[in-house]
Amino acid sequence: MQENEIVELNIEKISNLGLGIARSDGFVIFVEGACPGDKVKAKISKVRKNFANAKTIEVLKPSKYRVEPFCKMQKVCGACQLQFIDYDYQLELKRQIVEDAIKTIGGIDINIPLPIRSPQTKNYRHKIQYPVSQTKVSKRILAGYFKPQTHEIVNIKHCPIQPEICDEIVEFIREYAVKFDISGFDEKSHSGDLRHIVIRSSVSNGNILLTLVINSTKLSDSIKKLANEIFNAFDCVTGVCVNYNPNKTNVILGQKSECAAGDDFIEEKLLDKKFKIGSNTFFQVNPQSAENIFSYVKDFIKNNYKVPLILDAYAGIATFGICVSDIAQKVVSVEENCESCMRAAESLKINNINNLEIHNSDAAEFFKAEKRRFDVSIIDPPRKGCTTESLDEVYRLTTGHIVYVSCNPATLARDLKYLCEKGCKVESIQPFDMFCHTYHIENVAVIKV
């Protein structure tokens, strides 16, 4: 098998990265743009020792699950890898992705149910992060998503998975950036003004917090003018922040932000609790699906414990802690991001919550110093999962159950295997579809210590 070779393939299943899987001449071939049940003509793009990568160039016989994407940019954008597959079947494929990871990586044989559906499959994404660049000749501002496996920006004019107002705001920024002589960022030369546009919108009230990420350490007059123009043009934009990121990095947000117009937060409401969300604080991109997760976790605790002591680790703005506070004796939330802890404290006041402690600390360091033991520990780490040291400490600190919330089936499976080797038992794993039309899947694992 050689690069650029054209082959006909029958797609058997899907990989954890949303690629079709086929076999030919002893090779496993990962095929972009293919659905299980398809027969495709594909072009080999890369050949390794035991596998190859390919891209679909023609569908010879479509799978019964193949549908027409509702977004015209689906094939070039790369953000919604599975949008050409029927949504119900997407859920089954995601179930299989979780099952494969848990069995092959974790060595755990457990029934994986279908993911809980997202309440919305369009306009569901309430946080967008667009990289910004500029054309060399016409000097047009480009903002959108990167093409798959590249840093070439697809200029998105309409994205049906986010609120429609976001398209209008981004188009306004394109126009007025040129008017105020604000340049787009050039990654290669590390030059230009505007690096990213970050939009957070509230489901509960429709308000929007906009953040302009700039390649600078100070606020220029032109950026200040742009911020005020946006704030004045859109009633729903209640705040425009500027984030300073002059570093040579792929990290979107720098450490410092300031409010250039309006408020530096928006409010969201989940399970009748109000939350303040800032420009540099973590909050789920699909709040309605997130509410399903919080409700699921809260119901589990309520049905199995009476006024428990709860640990809420990797807490962000203490969303889990606040949601379960009214069924707990006390909640202890741990988060290393300063702004998140500040927002969490503000949310406690809004909700009149008096039984939640906030600790601004690295989780692993907090675990080592903590003497109390908890009935339930809720952990929601980043995609890389937990360190073995953190798992050791959570295991030591927990007397009842660990509730592990994960957006990465592979690292979840690895960490569950480690906990099982210590004597824990995985009682259930429930997937939730947080990221419709992508291969990403959120999971809640309930583990008995």
- Amino acid 366: pLDDT: 93
CA 351 to chain centre: 26
Q: What tokens appear for 255 in the block?
A: 């450490």
Q: How far apart are CA 444 and CA 428, in angstroms?
A: 8
Q: Which H or E element spans position 95?
A: helix 87-104
Are the C-beta atoms of residues 383 and 432 closer than 8 Å to each other? no
Q: How far apart are CA 147 and CA 240, in angstroms?
A: 28
Q: How far apart are CA 4 and CA 145, in angstroms?
A: 26
Residue type at 252 in one-letter notation? I
Active-site pick, 77, 386, 407, 436: 407
Number of H helices, E strands in the chain: 10, 22
- Residue 210's closest CA among 222, 228, 183, 186? 228
Q: What tokens appear for 213 in the block?
A: 């990420």
- Amino acid 27: pLDDT: 87
- Residue 41's closest CA among 19, 9, 77, 68? 9
Q: How far apart are CA 246 and CA 329, in angstroms?
A: 45
pLDDT string in tens for the chain (449-residue length): 899 999 999 999 999 999 999 999 888 999 999 999 999 999 999 999 889 999 999 999 999 999 999 999 998 888 999 999 999 999 999 999 999 999 999 999 999 999 999 999 999 999 999 999 999 999 999 999 998 878 899 999 999 999 999 999 999 999 999 999 999 999 999 999 999 999 999 999 999 999 999 999 999 999 999 999 999 999 999 999 999 999 999 999 999 999 999 999 999 999 999 999 998 888 889 999 999 999 999 999 999 999 999 999 999 999 999 999 999 999 999 999 998 999 999 999 999 999 999 999 999 899 999 999 999 999 999 999 999 999 999 999 999 999 999 999 999 999 999 999 999 999 999 999 999 999 999 999 999 99
Q: How far apart are CA 248 and CA 107, in angstroms?
A: 40
**CA geometry: angle 440, 443, 447, nearest 5 deg:** 155
Q: What percent of the chain has pLDDT over 90?
A: 92
pTM as predicted: 0.94
- Amino acid 188: pLDDT: 93
Q: How far apart are CA 154 and CA 142, in angstroms?
A: 8
- CATH for 6-66 (1.10.1580.10, 2.40.50.140, 3.40.50.300, 3.40.50.11540): 2.40.50.140
Q: Supply the DSSP symbol for 175.
A: H
Please give the CATH architecture assigned to the domain spanning 127-270: Beta Barrel (2.40)
Largest CA distance in the chain: 66
- Residue 33's closest CA among 76, 4, 3, 70? 76
Are the C-beta atoms of residues 239 and 228 closer than 8 Å to each other? no
What residue ranges do the domains of the chain occupy?
Answer: 6-66, 95-116+286-448, 127-270
Q: At 389, phi and psi to the nearest 5?
A: -65, -40
- Amino acid 25: pLDDT: 82
Instruction: Decide if 6-66 and 95-116+286-448 have a common fold.
Output: no
Identify each DSSP E strand in 11-167 by its residue range.
Answer: 13-14, 20-24, 27-32, 39-47, 51-61, 127-134, 141-146, 153-155
Report CA torsion sign: 301, 304, 305, 309.
Answer: negative
Q: At 189, phi and psi to the nearest 5?
A: -95, -5
407 is catalytic: yes
- Amino acid 340: pLDDT: 93
Residue type at 283 in one-letter notation? F
- Residue 116's closest CA among 141, 91, 148? 91
**Length reported for the chain:** 449
Q: Which residues contact 37 (CB under 8 A, 6 or more apart)?
A: 11, 62, 63, 64, 65, 66
Task: Look up tokens 């509410």; give the residue.
Answer: 291
Q: At 292, phi and psi to the nearest 5?
A: -60, -40
Q: Which residues contact 220 (CB under 8 A, 6 or more apart)?
A: 193, 214
CA end-to-end span of the chain = 49
DSSP conformation letters of 181-196: TPPBPBTTTTB-SEEE
Q: Tens digits of per-residue pLDDT, 393-446?
A: 999 999 999 999 999 999 999 999 999 999 999 999 999 999 999 999 999 999
Q: How far apart are CA 91 and CA 117, in angstroms?
A: 8
- CATH for 95-116+286-448 (1.10.357.10, 3.40.50.1000, 3.40.50.150, 3.90.420.10): 3.40.50.150
Q: How far apart are CA 134 and CA 50, in angstroms?
A: 40
Are the C-beta atoms of residues 208 and 158 closer than 8 Å to each other? no
Are the C-beta atoms of residues 134 and 184 closer than 8 Å to each other? yes
